[in-house]
């Protein structure tokens, strides 16, 4: 199956893309939120072209779900490849490093005010735009920035609708936009990573294939022991193809359908839910493809 033929680009996403382009001239700072587990796969290549000549901040959200070594890698990678002026890891869920984000925003805001005051303009507004693909935690981040639940929060891709201007304080406004993907996945690996983390709906791709890709990645990363302990697997269970490992999980965890057949679908969803909930350890999925796919984001 070729991932480039997968198209999940509902009409509201096309409208959001137009909305972002239309409002970009008003914006001073673009905060792009990415998922720490898949920082490149969750980075929308369209945003790079939209945000030219703007202050660009990449917010690595859910950074408590990966290791410190991975965080350091991505901060250096994004800066080295000129993807952003500032890169900050945080957790919108727990509030970790939100104060550091305020500091970055204030720094850019002060620079703008200083320039305009020299021109004799006394009333200066700084405008932020928060962008990102579905399910990276944009709305929770906005709620943290604003300090109250001004943006609706959902746990399914495509929840936020329309645009929302939110006043943070005097002279500082924020534009929230719905999450958007891009029309075509140029990389099969990116598409599967989006599916594993739940950035695209589970019904878009064959869910067992998605789970098998996750198993392959974990085995290559040397994480067999985690799988063995979590699902009571034996060494012999890893001697078969990954589809067989899903069957082994169903067998060892006593996941049965009526009639006694193995419930492989239950094993599939259990594996993916456990990864998304960080029950299989802290690790990301993108480090092995960072250099390979960075050209897609130019």
What would the pLDDT profile of 163-199 be if each residue is shown by its tens digit?
678 888 888 899 887 777 765 667 889 889 999 999 8
Q: Mean pLDDT across the stretch 38-45? A: 91
Q: Percent of the chain beyond pLDDT 70?
A: 88
Residue 68 has pLDDT above 80, yes or no: yes
Lowest mean pLDDT among 151-160, 225-234, 263-272: 151-160
CA 246 to chain centre: 26
Instruction: Confirm if 20 and 52 have CB atoms less than 8 A apart.
Output: no
CA-CA distance, 288 to 258, in Å (whole number)? 41
175-185: b or e for each residue (b if 16 or more CB lie within 10 Å)?
bbbbbbbbeeb
pLDDT range class, residue 44, cuts 50, 70, 90: confident
Q: What is the DSSP letter of 82?
A: T
pLDDT at 150: 52
- What separation, in Å, do the N-terminal and C-terminal C-alpha atoms of the chain show? 26
**Residues 6+ away with beta carbon under 8 Å from 19:** 163, 177
What is the distance, to the nearest Å, from the Cα of residue 66 to the centroid of all Cα atoms in its chain? 13
Q: How crowded is the C-beta side of 217, counted as CA atoms within 13 Å? A: 22
Q: What is the mean pLDDT of residues 220-232?
A: 97
Q: Which residues pair with 221 in a beta bridge?
A: none
Q: Residues 4-25: what's their mean pLDDT?
A: 71
133 pLDDT above the threshold of 60: yes
CA distance 133 to 199: 7
Task: Specify the range with the lowest mean pLDDT, choosing from 71-80, 87-96, 284-293.
Answer: 284-293
Q: For the residues 223-243, what does the mean pLDDT come to?
A: 96
Q: What is the pLDDT of residue 27?
A: 92
pLDDT band at 156 (very low <50, low <70, confident <90, very high): very low
**28 and 127 Cβ atoms separated by less than 8 Å:** yes
Question: Would you say the pTM of this structure is higher than 0.85?
Answer: yes
CA–CA separation, 172 and 58 (whole Å): 19
List the 126-131 sheet strands across, edge first: 86-89, 55-61, 29-35, 126-131, 172-176, 164-169
Averaged pLDDT, 126-149: 86
pLDDT at 5 over 70: no
Span 100-117, average pLDDT = 87
């Amino acid at each position: 199956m070729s991932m480039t033929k997968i198209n999940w680009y509902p009409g509201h996403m096309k409208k959001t893309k137009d909305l972002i382009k239309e409002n970009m001239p008003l914006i001073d700072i673009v905060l792009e939120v990415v998922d720490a587990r898949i920082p490149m796969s969750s980075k929308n290549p369209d945003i790079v072209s939209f945000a030219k000549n703007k202050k660009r901040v990449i917010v690595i959200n859910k950074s408590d779900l990966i290791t410190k070594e991975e965080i350091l890698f991505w901060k250096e990678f994004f800066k080295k490849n000129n993807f952003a002026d500032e890169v900050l890891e945080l957790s919108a869920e727990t509030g970790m490093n939100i104060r550091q984000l305020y500091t970055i925003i204030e720094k850019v805001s002060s620079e703008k005010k200083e320039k305009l005051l020299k021109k004799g303009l006394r009333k200066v507004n700084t405008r932020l735009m928060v962008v990102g693909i579905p399910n990276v935690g944009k709305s929770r981040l906005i709620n943290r920035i604003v300090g109250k639940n001004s943006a609706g929060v959902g746990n399914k891709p495509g929840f936020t609708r329309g645009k929302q201007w939110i006043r943070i304080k005097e002279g500082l406004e924020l534009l929230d936009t719905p999450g958007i993907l891009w029309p075509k996945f140029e990389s099969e690996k990116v598409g599967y990573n989006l599916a594993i983390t739940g950035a695209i709906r589970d019904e878009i791709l064959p869910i067992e294939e998605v789970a098998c890709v996750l198993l392959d990645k974990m085995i290559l990363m040397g994480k067999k022991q985690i799988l063995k302990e979590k699902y009571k697997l034996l060494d012999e269970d890893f001697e078969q193809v990954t589809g067989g490992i899903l069957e082994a999980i169903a067998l060892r965890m006593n996941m049965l359908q009526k009639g006694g057949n193995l419930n492989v679908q239950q094993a599939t969803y259990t594996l993916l839910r456990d990864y998304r909930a960080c029950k299989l350890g802290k690790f990301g999925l993108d480090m092995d493809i960072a250099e390979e796919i960075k050209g897609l984001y130019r």
